[in-house]
A and B are shown apart, each in its own frame.
Chain A
Amino acid sequence: MKVTARLTWIEEKILEKLLGNASLTLLYQSSAHKNCVSEMTQKYSLQGSTMTVFHLEKDVVVGVFILENFPRLVSEKPCTCAWFSLKRNNSSGISALFLNTKVIVDSEELIIFSLDGLSLSVTPLRGFTLALNDTVMNGLELNLGHGFLPVECEIFRVDGIKKNPSFIKKMVTAEQHRGKLLSALRAYKPYKDLVSEVRILLVGPVGSGKSSFFNSVKSAFQGHLTRQAIVGSDESSITKQYRVYSIKDGKSGETLPFMLCDSMGLEEGEEAGLCIDDIPHILQGCVPDRYQFNPCEPMKPKHSPHAASPPLKDRIHCVAFVLHINSVNTLSDKMVAKLKKIRKDVVDCGIGYVALLTNVEEYDEVLDDSFANMTETVTSLSQVQNVQKWLNIPIANILMVSNYASERRLEPMKDILVFAALRQMLRAADDALEDLPLEDTGNLAPF
């Protein structure tokens, strides 16, 4: 006889994605194997991380992911657990909680409870019934009756994830945090509404990921992979035009209050890549969208040097130096000199600036468990130290992302890095706007 999981294939995919693209292997099933605790423990002893799933009536699935090995028969032990529930045929609805939990196995009963008051117990001998207390019901947004619920139980081994409580906590709470960041960015307003949209300039060497970052930002807001900026590889910069990109919110379709300005890549040689003398023109807002850069000749502004400069809204309000994290430590002296020159121009114009390191591989380790700050592991990287030293950028403004360049599915953890980087850029822009001399804001100086 064949053993087939009752968890549907689509539900399996949802759970695998929740845990960071894990894979599930069925070990025990109450309708195929003996209904007793000893059989359960034998089937999933020493299997590593497991997920215990209960199929309730009313098409509800409740489960507990346990990071550590399952306890032996007649024992108890603290475990790192994620609790979740999902409803069949509800394609997006999944509730998940990360809690430190104790698992108790005695000869007749399995009890899983957390210090926060969640409690779940299974008694196989009574025809497999499950008891959930009110805290579980509320925490997992369940609306079930009380008492013992007849269930089918399945236990899966979880492969392909990091055996790290911090990782699990982040994966389980990532979607929620992503939503918070997204809401904050949607609600953002530039400092004192001095401009309706903040302009962020992306500048950096060829192939550092400037255009990919724009695509990643747009993808994160749209909820699916986007390809508006052409990326790839060629002998020189793929991007040869100056582009000013607006981004629409994927939900409301409204334009977000910032624009990303993409430029030609920098190259080592003179008369190659973006002309350094073009930078001041870009910063002052003299370069129109779609302007075709010429590596050998800077732009000749139409206005005379003594005419009024463009209004504040057309200027750059934040500059992001975009660097490939694997290339930072091998930047040539000439490239560093170019970057320093640009930084000087940026400072002279009173514009905020950050550094953005792209292609971070361990992107799930950039932020701490609560997504509040960068981890010390990250801030102590030699790449970060070097950028701080060369460009005099505070570490808090040396940001990290992993662009969507080879993946086909979005991941909440990557979205979070993109949103967090944007938030820091907008803060830098606000700092600069706040620091503007009064005459630059359009107000007359007081007498």
Chain B
Amino acid sequence: MAMRTRLTWQQEKCLQNYFGGKRFCLLYKASVQKFSHQNLLCTCENQGPTMIVVYSEKCVIGMYLKEGFQGKDVSITIFALQETGFSLCAKGPDSPYLLFHKRKTNDFSILLDEKAVIVSSAICKMLQLTARNNVIPIQECEAFRCEELLDERKTRGIAVLHSNLLQALRDYKPYGDLVQQTRVLLLGPIGAGKSSFVNSVKSVFKGSITHQILVGCDEDGISDKYRTYSIKAKDDSDPLPFILCDSLGLGENAGLHTDDVWHILKGHTPDRYQFDSMKPITSNHPNYTHDPLLKDRIHCVVFVFDINSFEMHSSELVAKIKKIRRDLIKHGILHLALLTHVDSLDLITKEDMTDIYNYSPVKSKLEAFHGVFGFALSDILVVSNYVSEWQLDPVKDMLILSALKEILYTANEFLEDLPLNK
């Protein structure tokens, strides 16, 4: 029998959020280490903040000891998790050791030998519990050490990885030095976060938040011009060797014209070109690039979607995007998908973003996206853009830098795969 908690991910999240960003490390499990309060105490003494959880047929009951098991009275919070929700009451200081014995004065006791919890009528009422004769049979008991999700130890590790990743991107070079700057085109529905992603990348390299690129959600989208953005690192005078290209959003009828996509891809569209949904650019335009070089072309396309709304697009828009993707495949132009607003998924917190791809809500979204648009799972990236923040956050930085690294590696593969005659 494995040492694995019975708490579901949602239950763990609920407790995590309530007790202030804690990670629960399972120390004791009654079915493995015997229903014995002595065994529980042996593993739990001097472990810092501790949480004890018992499972009855219908609900989870627990107590949180802010200072853990020590030789003194500690503050105790009793809680219950049921289908109806989460409820709790503060018990006040008490000796945690005595909670495992039957006492007349105890309004709450966990009797492991008898596999039962004794709960007073008052606490039953506060926690909305049902207990015949104030006794609730239990099936399992678990005990956890409660650690900060983002403690100094983890923060220090993240800082090292962040620094390494930033340096790797500064050292990035386009494949074979075929171009000085790799061009990445951001395509996607209006309001997906394309311009926010550019702002976020700029912010990370600048070392402070910037909103140089206007972002909004006007009816027809703010990004109505074609813009090519170079990025500068802090303390550097030269731009980094990649350019992010922002375009008008894709719409069912309005938005970026499909023919304009191809002009951009081939490098004909000049910076700051004003898009017209009804009329793609023609060679008569005064700034039209007639004979684009490799450096003017797009080397990687990134489809940007809001992780919360990609499933709500009309079938016409989905078909339009799929058509563009099929054409990219036909022409050998490598492309990825980028889902934004991952931090807005239900129950996802900043602390989860260090390992974001392993969380079930994210996995579900990626599989749904794969089902709709056909991208391989490993070609779907997620980020959380800087939207309302004033300060940079290393965890969000990491997601942005990791996504950018995958994008630039992919652009290099496009350059590597070019036919010899270019």
Contacts and interface: CB of A to CB of B under 8 A. Distances in A.
B48 A405 contact: no
Contacts of A334: none
**Chain A binding site: helix, strand, loop or mixed by DSSP?**
loop
A317 to B, nearest CB: 23
Interface stretch (B150-158, B233-241, B389-397): B150-158
Contacts of A25: 25-27
Contacts of B49: 2
Interface stretch (A41-49, A272-280, A302-310, A429-437): A41-49
B330 interface: yes
B56 to A, nearest CB: 24
A33 B34 CA distance: 22
A70 B148 CA distance: 28
A240 interface: yes
B410 interface: yes
Contact of B378 (A32, A43, A48, A225): A225
B19 to A, nearest CB: 14
A43 B32 contact: no
Interface stretch (B99-107, B121-129, B199-207, B412-420): B412-420
A232 B374 contact: yes
Contact of A26 (B3, B33, B145): B145
Contacts of A26: 25, 145
Interface string A229-240: 011111000101
Interface residues of A, number: 43
Contact of B374 (A27, A234, A407): A234
A228 B334 contact: yes
Nearest to B363: A406
A25 B144 CA distance: 10
A226 interface: yes
B379 interface: yes
Interface stretch (A4-12, A95-103, A197-205): A4-12
A251 interface: no
A3 interface: yes
A414 interface: no
Contacts of A445: none
B106 to A, nearest CB: 26
Given A5-B153, A226-B413, A238-B329, A231 B3 contact: no
B172 interface: no
A290 interface: yes
A10 B154 CA distance: 8
B46 interface: yes
Contacts of B357: 408
27 contacts: A2-B147, A2-B148, A4-B152, A8-B156, A8-B157, A9-B157, A10-B161, A25-B26, A32-B46, A33-B45, A43-B43, A46-B32, A47-B32, A47-B33, A48-B2, A157-B26, A159-B3, A225-B378, A226-B413, A227-B413, A228-B334, A231-B376, A232-B375, A240-B329, A404-B378, A405-B376, A408-B357
Interface of A: 1-5, 8-10, 13, 25-27, 32-33, 42-43, 45-48, 157, 159, 212, 224-228, 230-234, 238, 240-241, 289-290, 404-408
